[in-house]
Amino acid sequence: MLAELFLDAARACRDSPLNRTLLVAAADDLVRGGVTARVMAGAECDRRGAVPGLRFAGAVHRLVLEGRAPGLAEHYPTVGGEPRLATLWQDALPVLHAHADELRALIGRSVVQTNEPGRSAPLFGGLQVAAHLAAEAAGRRTPFPVRLLEVGASGGLNLRPHRIAYRVGDEVYGDVGSPFTMDVRWTGRPGVDLSHNVRLARRAGCDRHPVDVSTEEGRLHLSSFVWPDQKLRWERLQAALELARLDPVPVSRANGPEWLADQLVRPERDVLTVVWHSVIWQYVSPADRAMGRAVLADAAARATATAPLALLVFESRRTPDPDRYDFQLLLKLWPGGESLRLGAGGGHGIPFTWDTQPWS
């Protein structure tokens, strides 16, 4: 039932009172056959993974960002407003009535895209660990340069880990001259020297629905899916979009397993090839999961000490609380087959706790 999926999305927005309030009220309106039913017409049979509630909230946020819902904008901090939850739905109703057909079309063609640059923080630390461990295994005195391959890259905002300044307490690592400085809020640290930035030899990404962040449409699309009362996430995204403007990296429109098979067709000597992804696994079909594992296994069998391969992922794991997930940073290295759980943190990458343990 569509209303139940809206309530699922509301529970997921526990850190966004604005979105949670909007989605709970919209779910009630759906049950009563109100204007939300008209807005969501055609989505009645959406599956859970299509997250119709978040597509609804994102479409409404987009109208606000475009300046076409001034009364509702007073509730949205992303445009200078202040949430007043008691009257939020009352002010949302005129917007839904006035833009119902447009919202329905937008929701029908949209795919949730949360290209969270905050996830670059744990991934940067994991990349440092991978580069150091691979160098040790090969008897190198310095870490390998990295060929970075991202599956499910969205707008490619996490393909610039070497171009970000990471603030860890009173210290800054990565690109200390970057226009994008991120407070990582780490508990503990990776067990390697972070003082030398990662060297990226090459980088590439793919997505089934890539977002072109060089366009206003692409930037608006990603911005609309940021929860509007989370100002720090909003500011990180805007900084990452500016960095993307200065350092463009195109993202290929492709299905992950097929694209990865092409990228990994042969090992690359004197480079550490790192395959990574973050918070996409829940959206991947069982068939594509199986194919992706097979592609990676084939590539792992060809890896050597001088042409190593790593898998570095930041993905969710279930906890005893059915409404809460634990997001873990996991690393596998070949040819040795070393598997590590490096730590866990919030779904947006910040905060994060480092705690290296074997991963089976």
327 neighbors 344 (Cβ within 8 angstroms): yes
Instruction: Quote the distance between the C-alpha of residue 337 and its chain's center.
Output: 26
Beta bridge partners of 332: 311, 339
How many Å apart are CA 118 and CA 287, to the nearest integer?
A: 29
Which residues have CB under 8 Å from 64's CB, separation 6+? Answer: 72, 73, 76, 78, 79, 228
Locate the domains of the chain by residue range: 2-109, 117-358
273 to 145, 177, 207, 208: CA distances (angstroms): 9, 26, 19, 22
pLDDT of residue 324: 56
pLDDT of residue 80: 96
Antiparallel, parallel or unpaired: β 309-318 and 272-278? parallel
How many Å apart are CA 197 and CA 224, to the nearest integer?
A: 32
Question: Model pTM?
Answer: 0.91
Q: Give the pLDDT confidence of 131-171 residue by residue, as tens digits.
A: 999 999 999 999 999 999 999 999 999 999 999 999 999 99
pLDDT digit string (tens) for the chain, length 360 residues:
899 999 999 998 989 999 999 999 999 999 999 999 999 999 888 888 889 999 999 999 999 999 999 999 999 999 999 999 999 999 999 999 999 999 999 999 988 888 899 999 999 999 999 999 999 999 999 999 999 999 999 999 999 999 999 999 999 999 999 999 999 999 999 999 999 999 999 999 999 999 999 999 999 999 999 999 999 999 999 999 999 999 999 999 999 999 999 999 999 999 999 999 999 988 888 999 999 999 999 999 999 999 999 999 999 876 555 555 689 999 999 999 999 999 999 989 999 999 999 987
